[in-house]
Structure 1
Amino acid sequence: MTWLTVHLTPASSGPAGLIADATGSIKSSREVEDRINEIRTGLQSSPGVQSISPSENIADKVMTILGSLHDPGYLEALRLGPHPREPEITELASRYAAAGVPQNTSVDAGSYQRALFSAATGFAAATTIASKRSPVSYALCRPPGHHAGRSFMGGYCLLNNAAVAALSLRASGFHRPAIIDLDFHPGNGTSDVLSAHPSRNFNQHSAATGILNF
């Protein structure tokens, strides 16, 4: 079986940032370029794996899907919002935090563009399956997406990549694509962005208890 890996271009990689937790303590972000590189190296060293990057001609389709998932004001704020010299928590990030969740998601000058690349990666991976180019496709998406809701960010997530891939598959004729989210924390963003879409069911199992402290 051929596995097709869709990954981000080098231009979408970003520097290691600093984030502040709920107590105000500063620590290094876990979102570092080395994670992507190590996963990519491991996949590409496996037999039968082909690797591609998203093409530029899918941008309009990705933006259309994002517009159906995220609030237009939220997308515009991400695109035009304040970007500090250092990727600290900003007023922008605080304004778009999920209710009751401590915000620790950094926003720097490249955050929006990296999030778009990541969403495009999810879309491209779904497209390779829909076009029967490969029966299995792995999207190497960073930043992640399952804590990104219709009008909030969190847990390093800005745009919801999994929901983008699922809606892409539906548009290609897959009646009920499934999102199986394996994570300690529930995908609160995914359930939020898909809540307004028809024919959706949520069966959630999480080890997390109490407040979502990412």
Structure 2
Amino acid sequence: MPLHEPLVPLQDVVERGRMNIVKADHRVQFFKASRKEASKKQEKETAEDPLESQVLAATRIAAHWKRKVDRRRFLKMREEEFEFLGMAPPKKDKGDTDVIVEMQKHRETRKKMQEDADDVFEKALKEQLEWLQKKKGADIKAELLEERRQWILDYCQDPEHQKEFPEKFDAFYQRFDKAQDDDEAEKGKDGKKGKDAKKDDKAKGKGGKGGKK
């Protein structure tokens, strides 16, 4: 510091430090309030749609379960490492009979867990189907009926059918299969053309080399 500049009093330095601390504290409180408000807003939006709330709950449960499994795996690895380094006493070896019994117990436990998971899945699926049928069933039915009415009108307006009402609705469902077959046929033709073009290019290249000789 140059000699001609006055020294800053200690009181001013302390005051500036206090003001900076207060500003930083206000900034932290503001960020916390913003995150809290965003979290409340998201929870409110998901609460309006039961399907989204169920998906969010399932995601949280899966994340919690993954953390738990990872922690168990980490603890097991740590125990094995301690045993290998001699930092922990080795576990007692179990006999073959004990191993078989433990395997049977684990198998029964996994089987029961699988059955419980299947029951929970079937119950949740049934609830979702009932909710969908209750909330969206009328709209889906109206859309399907409108699609079939439009197909009947197009069928009757086709000159080939001479305004005759369709006896069967097989053509309504077969039209998608026909479009898929046409797309596959077009892809096959394009692939064949590409192969033929490659063969022609190779033949031309060989002819050019022969001419140079």
Answer yes or no: same fold by TM over 0.5. no
For the pair shown, the structure with the greater C-alpha radius of gyration is 2
Higher helix share: 2
Please give the TM-score of this superposition, normalised by the length of structure 1.
0.18
Higher strand share: 1
